Each structure stands twice: as C-alpha cells, then as structure tokens.
Amino acid sequence: MTLPLKTQDIFETGLPRWLDAITRFFAALCVSLVLAYMIRTALGNIAPKDFSYFWIAGRIFLEGGNPYAPSFSEIANSMAASNSDMDGLGGFHRWLYGPHIWSVSTGLGLLDYFAARIAWGVASAGAVVGGCYLGLAAVMRLQAPFFFVYFGLLCLLAGVTLGTVMSISTGQVASFTFLAIAAFIYGVLRNSAIAVALALIVLTMKPNLAMPFIGFALVLPATRMPLLMAGLVSLCLSVPVFVTTPISEFVAGYLDGLSSYGGYGANAPNALTGLANVVQEPRALPCRV
C-alpha cells in the first residue's frame, strides 16, 4: 500500500534502507544510554535541594498556605529536618517561581518525597532529550540524511556535560528551561505559534530568564499572538493561587522575594555566567556508576 505523501516524507531520508536503519538504531541507543545515565544521576546519593523547593511549595499549597510569604524558609527548613529522605538539606531561601507553576508544585506535593523526586528526575532527563530534538529540528529537516546520527551525538554531548550533571543531580529547572528555549527557537524558525506559546509559559516561571524572550516576542509581529496566548494560559493556571491567597498578599510576598534574588551567592552575576561551568573543576560528581 502506498503511504500518503506527507507520511512518506516523514520516514524518507534519501539513504539506503539498511543505512537509514543503522542511523535510527544509533540514535535510539544514544538516547537510551543518556536517559539511563541522567536518571541514575538524578537518583544519586545527594538529595536534590532545588527540586525540594517545588515539593515543599506544593505541600504548602495543598495545605492552603502561601509559599510566597517570608515564612517559607522556616517552614522548608522544618520540613527538611523532619523528613529522612531530605537528610542533609537546609538553609532554604524564598520561593521565587511564578504562580502559574502551582499545578506542577501541587502535583509533586501529592506524592511522597522520593516518588516525586523520581518523577522530577525522569521528566528532567526527558526534557534534555526533547530540547536536543527541537533544537536540531529547528535548523535541520527530519528527512535530512544522518539527522538521527546528529541527534544521537547531540544527546550524548548534552547528557554528559558537567552543567547537565550538576543540574540534574541538584534537581534544577535548567533541563526544562533548555527545552523551553529550544521550543522557542523551533517555533520562531518553523513558524509554530504553539511551540512559542508553550515555551513562554515555561520560561516565565523565572521572570529574569523570560524577559529577553518576552522582549523578542513583542518586537516580532509573528510572535505577539503566541505571547498573548502564553499570558492568558499562565493567568488561568495562576487562578488557584489567587483563590487561596489574597492578591495583595501574594504580590507583596512575590515582589519581596524577587528583590532578594540577587542576595544569594548562587545568583550572583559571576555565578550565573556560562564561563563558571566551563572553568569549574568537576570535583566529587554526585553520580558514581
């Protein structure tokens, strides 16, 4: 049976069938290996502090509390001290993420800490692979010869670099912002409004990171509608926060927390540059295989 033209184009790379099969097998092998490595890293011996912010905020949301209040640090430190799975964690600061992250935090909060940690680690690993795919697909056709070879090699490179290892092991959101940035680039180059909108929804959970992309979206006429879509969806996702917390109380706590962002050593300008990851010596990596 002859497949429709569009379906044929998806699978046709112009390579001999045997060589095309080898490239796809190579990509599948690379993705499998890097996913296994990243998930193993995420479930290392060190409790991921950055992820813990999301889980603790989710628990506070579920109890009807306000994680944007200054008391978040005290509550977080108390919860860490009473949970054996969070052994060694402490010194929590303020909760700084946007209110539309409520659904993610509460979803994690519904699980016990270790189960939520597994879910977060698997999702983080998948986000790295997804970001590699979208980034490559933005500049290269899926039907291009050796697309899958490049994809497999890109996944290997992204999965084993020090920055990824450190991000995955501490439960940072960097994997998801990487995916969002790749989706934004893909959406702009491939004229996909949905990709741009979804990317902006994720990026705006950290306002300082989102500002350049919002500015770009405002300047480019084709991305103004996706920006509006992202804003409306983010507002809808924030409604549960506004229902349980007076808006004035939320705004005051959120802005106060954001104003303290630069006061933490890890958020200092010199610590936020890519150069810091390049020159940092990889001492005592958390994953030992």
> What digits encode the pLDDT tens for the residues 181-215?
999 999 999 999 999 999 999 999 888 889 999 99
Whether residue 249 is contained in a domain is answered as: yes
User: For residues 94 and 13, which has the higher predicted lDDT (pLDDT)?
Assistant: 94
| Average pLDDT of the segment spanning 161-179 | 89
User: For residues 4 and 121, which has the higher predicted lDDT (pLDDT)?
Assistant: 121
170 pLDDT band, cuts 50/70/90, is confident
Q: Is the pLDDT of residue 6 over 50?
A: no
Whether residue 67 is contained in a domain is answered as: yes
Average pLDDT over the chain, rounded to an integer:
84
Whether residue 227 is contained in a domain is answered as: yes
Euclidean distance between CA atoms 279 and 289, whole angstroms: 24
pLDDT, one tens digit per residue, over 7-38 is: 444 445 566 787 888 888 999 999 999 999 99
Nearest to 116 by CA among 107, 124, 125: 107
Number of domains the chain contains:
1
The model carries a pTM of 0.83
Whether residue 59 is contained in a domain is answered as: yes
Whether residue 51 is contained in a domain is answered as: yes
Give how far the C-alpha of residue 99 lies from the chain's centroid of Cα atoms, to the nearest Å: 16
Whether residue 164 is contained in a domain is answered as: yes
Residue 249 token pair: 């109380």
User: For residues 102 and 245, which has the higher predicted lDDT (pLDDT)?
Assistant: 102
Helix ranges restricted to H, the chain:
5-11, 17-42, 49-62, 72-81, 102-109, 113-139, 147-160, 162-170, 174-190, 193-203, 207-219, 224-244, 247-259, 274-279
| Residue 90 lies in domain | 39-262
Whether residue 3 is contained in a domain is answered as: no
Residue 38, C-beta contacts closer than 8 angstroms, at least 6 positions apart: 121, 124, 125, 128, 159, 164, 168
Q: Is the pLDDT of residue 167 over 50?
A: yes
User: For residues 247 and 47, which has the higher predicted lDDT (pLDDT)?
Assistant: 247
Q: Is the pLDDT of residue 52 over 60?
A: yes
Q: Is the pLDDT of residue 266 over 70?
A: no
